[in-house]
Structure 1
Amino acid sequence: MKFSTQKPQKTLHMVSLGCTKNLVDSEVMLGKLSDYKLTDDAQNADVIIVNTCGFIDSAKEESINTILNLHEERKDESVLVMAGCLSERYKEELQKELPEIDVFTGVGDYDKIDQLVNEKRSNFTNEVFLQNETNERVISGSNYHAYIKLSEGCNQTCSFCAIPSFKGKLHSRTLESLVKEVKALVAKGYCDFTFVSQDSSSFLRDLGINDGLERLIDEVEKIEGIKTARILYLYPSTTTLKLIDKIADSKVFLNYFDMPLQHISASVLKIMKRGKGVEKLRELMQHMKSKPNSFVRTTFIVGHPGETQEDFEELCSYVKEFKFDRANVFSYSDEEGTTAFEREDKVEQELIDERAEILGEIIASTTQESLENEVGKVFEVYIDGESQEHEYLLSARKTLWACDIDGEIYINDNELEEQIEFGKMYKVKITELVGDKLIATVIEKCN
């Protein structure tokens, strides 16, 4: 009788909270822990990692609740790790208050996670970790799409945002490093890319280059095998009409314009320390909208200290008039270490919530209008797989849309003789809108 001497493979349960930038860091950790088998079963996992978000109150609460719930159900000998922004921002307090956690680490040690887990040791490196092409990532959730992180940190001084206090100043990757990473992913079959950072339009400005994104577009266009790409998080004061034209003229980058405006009232923007005259801002937005097949997304904050009823009404009028394809509204949240936190002209919480609801309803109706405009059209989509709604419906995404945030299209019919392949691009015809879901028929396979 033979006995195997091989040890059973250890398992890892990963939870990545917050933004897509966090997701890239989680994927770096997965790459470092590739000896572990990924599992959805947190109760029996050998290692559990929560990559936390520390942006606003609701995100902080979600991070703490998630980690405490996982602690409650985990097995005795497992290792529980708290990583990321929240952990970095409140490292002293959290280490004192959460003895349940075995390993604490912040935003500087993603590439050392294997050592920290093996040694059951906490560590906070002073410098933020910047992804480069030598860090092998495990791309999660897709066999054709990947996020690429351009930079870390931010040089802006927005009144409401604490990110620079724990992520530091802008620190861009080199163009060479980005190109190498994208080429390596294309070689593995990835063809759709989303470029992200805290402030994408400032890419390379810390290295003395003011047209970093334009240079990136030039380099990415030279890489054979990329079908589509988009850029998220443009910043008003570092986005130019020339950059918008460059995106619109690109054969690879789609006319996807994501610029968090936060407000449109001149007085609130001044309080928020978001430099750029309102006229200039409106001109930028109009220029984006004027591009063929453009898709414009933004975010707003309501209830910022100093926001009057007139300011709020001006914002509502602008959103109704502009008709964004997608937008998000955030209720102002007090963040220690920010200038807004120190202000005395705070808006009552009840009024903040009321304003968020009013603006949320306006956004819901402009989003619905954007979706209604798609009915009857023919365009390209990526097929992701079976939908969670029904096994006979396939889930797809318009190539123009960003992953996970802009919606899902249900495919309920196929005019082709062949079986549909997941992860591939097809032309579809939109037949109807049911609730907030577009329904489509596949009519052609794209090369």
Structure 2
Amino acid sequence: MSNKLHVVSLGCNKNLVDTEVMMGRLKSFSLTDDATEADVIIVNTCGFIDAAKEESVNTILSLHDQRKDDSILVVAGCLSERYREELAEEMPEVDIFTGVGDYERIDELLAKKESRFSDEVYLIDGAERVVTGSTYHAYIKLSEGCNQVCSFCAIPSFKGKLNSRSLDSVAKEVKSLVKQGYYDFSFISQDSSSYLRDKNIKDGLSLLVQRIELIEGVKSARILYLYPSTTTIKLLENIGKSKIFHNYFDMPIQHINDDMLRIMKRGFGKEKTLELLEYMKSLPNSFIRTSFIVGHPGESEEMFEEMKEFARDFGFDRINIFEYSDEETTSAYDMKEKIDEDTIHERAELLEEVQAEVLQKSLESEIGKEVEIVIDGESEEHEFLLSAKELIWAPEIDGEIYVNDRTDDEAEIEYGKVYTAKITSIVGDILTATVDNKE
């Protein structure tokens, strides 16, 4: 078999981890950014909402149009898992289909040129990964599946119930990556605050925090995707006490109106949600990211206005916005009080204005502060500007900092190294900073 590989990973960072596992199994291949010269093309798809499904299908078709005649096109991941029969029938362009359970067997599937769908989702346990996008940061997947019953979410229908990795498995992977030079980690899953609950361990995430703190070489960590009804004040306290885990809280609350939260089957009301958010905000150097869904069936104008005002006033650092997507296999799909698409778009645009205000306010609050940053390399803006991020921020999603000055022009700046910097100004939605690189 020839050995040029082109890989596209779509969707969330959990997908990215799975893609990196496939790349680890195919290390004998040389990676290429040019799909036209690739002997094997792999698309790891997302099947969460309509926009993601459309992107996945368009990507597959576009790559097929570019591919060599004798190349192999592989489609893996959530879209193919969710629609395995339909895609096999409607997309003859694809040579191999596989879902969410066979990432570590991708070399076998290529050798046999066969499609395969395992009955279980794939959990990393000792698999070698090719970490992409960073020399110092890696994502660590804690679990697959979800025990929640949110009205709008189809993920449990094709990924099943919560299935957590063991603490030993997670620690082993982190230790391995530390030996390779990684020191900054983001721990992710669909519902991270439920980690180990399927093993009858109620506060598994606190145990994870304690375990990771024992690993020499881990300098920085954060947890992504806390779920309100499974997050406790005790867990937040334990994160707050940690010397390694940042007070970084990514909790997608989706709405704030009590009736809407009940319709969404979130299992948690406004009062308890506020209690958690206020506690997060009270912790030193906290950073709070959330997500909202607009246009869910039953959302009245008054409900939307309540959410919009709360988004503006609470003091979030970052906000994601999702337009409601009507997904089969969800309970919302059968609800009668659907919101028309024009209204959904209009509400999303109004909330995007708030989103921009919130971002600007959060960034402006950083001016004058001394913070820890990591230099990633030259910026795309100008060769004399270096691109960086605050160490507490999650990579790529929380923003960029331009380093335009340093206190010691003689000293060489090292990429991937942590520096103390003073935030000096803001240009649009990008902060600028001066680095103290004196030894």
Q: Percent of aligned pairs with the same residue?
A: 63
Q: Counterpart of 2:16?
A: 23
CA distance in 2, matches of 1:135, 1:178: 11
Cα distance, 1:445 vs structure 2: 6.2
SS at match of 1:71: helix
Q: Counterpart of 2:132?
A: 140
Question: Contact 1:194–1:232 at 8 Å: present in 2 too?
Answer: yes
Aligned pairs for 1:323-362 within 5 A: 323-362=315-354
Instruction: Decide which of 417, 424, 437 is 1:424's aligned counterpart.
Output: 417
Instruction: Decide which of 267, 287, 301 is 1:295's aligned counterpart.
Output: 287
Q: Counterpart of 2:82?
A: 89
SS at match of 1:255: strand
Q: Counterpart of 1:414?
A: 406
* Match status 1:52 vs 2:45: yes
Cα distance, 1:323 vs structure 2: 2.1
Structure 1: which amino acid aligns with 2:122?
F
Structure 1: which amino acid aligns with 2:426?
L
Question: Contact 1:385–1:394 at 8 Å: present in 2 too?
Answer: yes
SS at match of 1:66: helix
- The one-character-per-residue Cα deviations of 1:409-440 (angstroms, maximum 9, x if unpaired) are 11111222311111110111111100000011
CA distance in 2, matches of 1:147, 1:153: 17
CA distance in 2, matches of 1:119, 1:49: 16
Q: Counterpart of 1:371?
A: 363
Question: Contact 2:167–2:208 at 8 Å: present in 1 too?
Answer: yes
- The one-character-per-residue Cα deviations of 1:282-319 (angstroms, maximum 9, x if unpaired) are 01001001111100000000000000011001101111
Aligned pairs for 1:219-298 within 5 A: 219-298=211-290
Question: Contact 2:10–2:43 at 8 Å: present in 1 too?
Answer: yes
Q: Counterpart of 2:153?
A: 161
SS at match of 1:280: helix
Question: Contact 1:234–1:260 at 8 Å: present in 2 too?
Answer: yes
- The one-character-per-residue Cα deviations of 1:92-126 (angstroms, maximum 9, x if unpaired) are 00000000001100001000001111221111111
What RMSD over aligned residues (CA atoms) do the two structures have, in Å?
A: 1.0
Q: Counterpart of 1:120?
A: 113
* Match status 1:187 vs 2:165: no
* TM-score normalised by length of structure 2: 0.99
CA distance in 2, matches of 1:383, 1:46: 35
* Match status 1:399 vs 2:386: no
SS at match of 2:421: strand
Question: Contact 1:320–1:366 at 8 Å: present in 2 too?
Answer: yes
Question: Contact 1:85–1:107 at 8 Å: present in 2 too?
Answer: yes
Show structure 1 runs of 4+ deviating over 6 A.
none
Question: Contact 1:52–1:86 at 8 Å: present in 2 too?
Answer: yes
CA distance in 2, matches of 1:109, 1:389: 40
Structure 2: which amino acid aligns with 1:180?
K
Cα distance, 1:334 vs structure 2: 0.2
Instruction: Decide which of 301, 305, 312 is 2:297's aligned counterpart.
Output: 305
CA distance in 2, matches of 1:221, 1:126: 35
- The answer to which of 80-89 and 379-388 deviates more is 379-388
Q: Counterpart of 1:3?
A: none
Cα distance, 1:388 vs structure 2: 1.6
Question: Contact 1:381–1:396 at 8 Å: present in 2 too?
Answer: yes
Segments of structure 1 that go 5 or more residues without pairing to the other structure are 1-6
Cα distance, 1:444 vs structure 2: 3.2
Cα distance, 1:393 vs structure 2: 1.2
CA distance in 1, matches of 2:315, 2:236: 19
* TM-score normalised by length of structure 1: 0.97
CA distance in 1, matches of 2:121, 2:219: 32
- The one-character-per-residue Cα deviations of 1:226-283 (angstroms, maximum 9, x if unpaired) are 1100000000000001111111110000000000000000111001000112111101
Q: Counterpart of 1:388?
A: 380
- The one-character-per-residue Cα deviations of 1:352-402 (angstroms, maximum 9, x if unpaired) are 100001011101101110001111111101111111222211110100100
Paired residue total: 438
Cα distance, 1:326 vs structure 2: 0.1
SS at match of 2:389: strand
